[in-house]
Amino acid sequence: MKETPRYVLALDQGTTSSRAILFNKAGGIVSVAQKEFKQLFPSPGQVEHDASEIWSSQLGVAAEAVAKAGAKGTDIAAIGITNQRETTIVWDRHTGKPVYNAIVWQDRRTASFCDELKAAGHEPLIRGKTGLVIDAYFSATKVKWILDNVAGAREKAAKGLLAFGTVDAWLVWNLTEGKVHATDVTNASRTMLFNIHTLEWDKELLDLFGIPESMLPEVRQSSEIISETAPSIFSVTIPIAGIAGDQHAALFGQMCTSAGMVKNTYGTGCFMLMNIGEQPILSENNLVTTIAWKINGKVEYALEGSIFIAGAVVQWLRDGLGIIRSSSEVEALATKVAHNDGVYLVPAFAGLGAPHWEQHARGTLVGMTRGTTAAHIARAALESIAYQTMEVLKAMEADAGISIKELRVDGGATNNNLLMQFQADILHTKVIRPKVTETTAMGAAYLAGLATGFWKSKEEIATQWEVDHSFTPGGNREEIARWIKGWGNAVKAVKAWAKL
């Protein structure tokens, strides 16, 4: 008799590591495997990944997670893919080899070209069609850069020999051994080439960037059987049944499934998304409009505030500055001082994202005195994550015309109680941490499990979401207002420098 599969496998391909998690029917984590991979910084402002390493590390952790659980391919009902978004890979359709390294979402090499697009007045067109602001963050200018700078690429692309994809499409291509070239609506909505109203690649934008349509993947729903894995991968074929960009997957994993619900994920960056329902409202406060997901033919939209550096600032304290040996030491170091004593760190290492969108900003430390210590810098680094989140939440409240009553949080840094309490204090909003903070992977698993009947409905899934801790805002409002003003001044200084 055929056994009923017990698990769903989530592949979570992030900016600094590839992870694989097996979930059981109760939404519990059965096994996790994770591998960091190389970050390449060819020159200041440039960030690349080796696309082959993205694939090999992802495949390796998938096998490891399955083995750790003592499972086999037949135990897996479906695979859900979630990924770092915008990161751009162009490969040869015949050899399957990338023609250049993956250009990572944080990469700023196309900032000047983006300035030219703005100066030429393209902002309203691009914003209207894609919901995005013009910024080097999104994929379009990165694809153009590869076509312009890799010898022979433009000619090959014109002949239909090259494929472009965000990381999800690259994984699907490899999981199917080149049979399927597909992405989902959420990832497509981050390319600056996808019309979020018609749900099609936009010909006018493709012309503007000089990108042949033949390079683009087919766009599928976030929850549907996209294909089966090639038999050689897991020795059986497994349906790939869900794809979503990591932030969209986290919104789903947090069960923010009604309009007005908001989550913030603390990863390499911080990404706050608010479900806005079935109409793509454009932000008036420098947020972007994005597709939350498409399930059963129904599209829902979200407003997003993207913060480029959050958890990465702690990595920088470890690897760049060397004041901690491991990221977990940051809380202990930061609590050596009771407050920041006027020291602010604006970690604009990759420019400033929402709500400032200042591509040329760079990291800045202000307010130091002779008494400033490593503890102050660690504290300022942690606080910067919370202040940036506050700016985005305020923009979201202004767009939505409501005061947000609770913020659901997830991601690695949410284990840091000092940060979460500080976050609640400065937001003056309840911050809610769920029991499972792996909501990105969980969201991908849910999307895949829904498409294959592993879970029957959103309602069934919603019963699995549980609160671990609710951080209630406290502190002295006047004092907090002074701190917030200090942060505002630090950001002003960064923006003024960027204009020099």
Which range, of 64-72, 261-269, 357-365, 425-433, touches ligand G3P by CB under 6 A?
261-269
Q: How far is the CB of 46 from ligand G3P (least distance, A)?
A: 16
What residues between 13 and 42 interact with ligand G3P by CB under 6 A? 14-15
d(CA 306, CA 304): 6
- CB closer to ligand G3P, 31 vs 247: 247
Q: How far is the CB of 367 from ligand G3P (least distance, A)?
A: 28
> Among 7, 37, 105, 138, which residue sits at the site for ligand G3P (rule: CB under 6 A)?
105
> Among 11, 79, 81, 85, which residue sits at the site for ligand G3P (rule: CB under 6 A)?
85
Task: Pick the closest to residue 274 from 368, 393, 159 (CA basis).
Answer: 393
What residues between 165 and 224 interact with ligand G3P by CB under 6 A? none
> Among 88, 191, 223, 247, which residue sits at the site for ligand G3P (rule: CB under 6 A)?
247
Count of residues interacting with ligand G3P (CB under 6 A): 13
- Burial bucket for residue 235 (CB in 10 Å: 0-12, 13-18, 19+): exposed
Q: How far is the CB of 13 from ligand G3P (least distance, A)?
A: 8
- CB closer to ligand G3P, 98 vs 411: 411
d(CA 497, CA 500): 5
Task: Tell me if 84 contacts ligand G3P by CB under 6 A.
Answer: yes
Q: How far is the CB of 410 from ligand G3P (least distance, A)?
A: 10
> Among 80, 242, 267, 449, which residue sits at the site for ligand G3P (rule: CB under 6 A)?
267
DSSP for 445-484 reads HHHHHHHTTSS--HHHHHTT--EEEEEPP-S-HHHHHHHH
Q: How far is the CB of 358 from ligand G3P (least distance, A)?
A: 17
Q: How far is the CB of 14 from ligand G3P (least distance, A)?
A: 4
d(CA 196, CA 349): 30
- CB closer to ligand G3P, 13 vs 195: 13
Residue 89 structure tokens: 């890979």
Task: Tell me if 269 contacts ligand G3P by CB under 6 A.
Answer: yes
d(CA 288, CA 302): 8
Q: Is the C-alpha dihedral spanning 171, 37, 442, 281 positive or negative?
A: negative
Task: Tell me if 268 contacts ligand G3P by CB under 6 A.
Answer: yes
d(CA 113, CA 212): 19
- CB closer to ligand G3P, 7 vs 301: 301
Which range, of 267-275, 330-338, 386-394, 412-420, touches ligand G3P by CB under 6 A?
267-275
d(CA 67, CA 216): 35
> 78, 448 in Cβ contact below 8 A?
yes
> 267, 412 in Cβ contact below 8 A?
yes
Alpha helices in 120-179 (DSSP H): 123-130, 140-149, 153-158, 167-175
- Looking up tokens 């008036």 gives 284
Q: How far is the CB of 86 from ligand G3P (least distance, A)?
A: 5
Task: Tell me if 246 contacts ligand G3P by CB under 6 A.
Answer: yes
- CB closer to ligand G3P, 245 vs 449: 245
Task: Pick the closest to residue 147 from 54, 209, 213 (CA basis).
Answer: 209
- Looking up tokens 């995005």 gives 132
d(CA 88, CA 85): 9
Rg of the Cα atoms in the chain: 22
Which range, of 42-50, 92-100, 239-247, 285-293, touches ligand G3P by CB under 6 A?
239-247
Which range, of 252-260, 263-271, 353-361, 400-408, touches ligand G3P by CB under 6 A?
263-271
Q: How far is the CB of 388 from ligand G3P (least distance, A)?
A: 14
- CB closer to ligand G3P, 16 vs 24: 16
Task: Tell me if 245 contacts ligand G3P by CB under 6 A.
Answer: yes
**H/E element, 380:** helix 374-400
Which range, of 240-248, 279-287, 364-372, 421-429, touches ligand G3P by CB under 6 A?
240-248
- Residues in Cβ contact with 301 at an 8 Å cutoff, skipping those fewer than 6 apart: 131, 196, 275, 276, 277, 278, 279, 280, 281, 289, 290, 291, 292
- CB closer to ligand G3P, 239 vs 351: 351
Binding residues vs ligand G3P (CB under 6 A)? 14-15, 84-86, 105, 245-247, 267-269, 306
